[in-house]
Amino acid sequence: MAITPRISVQEQDFDTAAEIERISDGRKDIGAVVTFSGKCRDEQGTLVALELEHYPGMAEAEIGRIAAEAAERWELLGLTVIHRYGKIPVGENIVLVVAASKSRAASFEAANFLMDYLKSRAPFWKKEHRVDGQDGGWVEAKQSDEDALAVWQKQS
User: Given the rule CB under 8 A, which residues bind other proteins?
Assistant: 38, 53, 55, 57-58, 61-62, 83, 94-95, 115, 118-127, 138-141, 146
Shortest gap between Cβ of 6 and other proteins (angstroms)? Answer: 18
Question: Quick one: 76 or 119, whose CB is closer to other proteins?
Answer: 119
Nearer to other proteins, 20 or 66 (CB): 66
State how far the Cα of 80 lies from the Cα of 48, in Å rounded to an integer.
Answer: 28
Sign of CA dihedral 19, 22, 25, 29: negative
Q: How far is CA 41 from CA 63, 98, 134, in A?
A: 23, 21, 18
Closest CA to 117 of 73, 69, 74, 49: 69
Cβ-based nearer residue to other proteins, 27 or 41: 41
Kindly state the smallest distance separating residue 40's Cβ from other proteins, in Å.
Answer: 12
Q: How many CB atoms lie within 10 A of CB 135?
A: 9
Least distance in angstroms from the C-beta of 3 to other proteins: 22
Nearer to other proteins, 9 or 100 (CB): 9
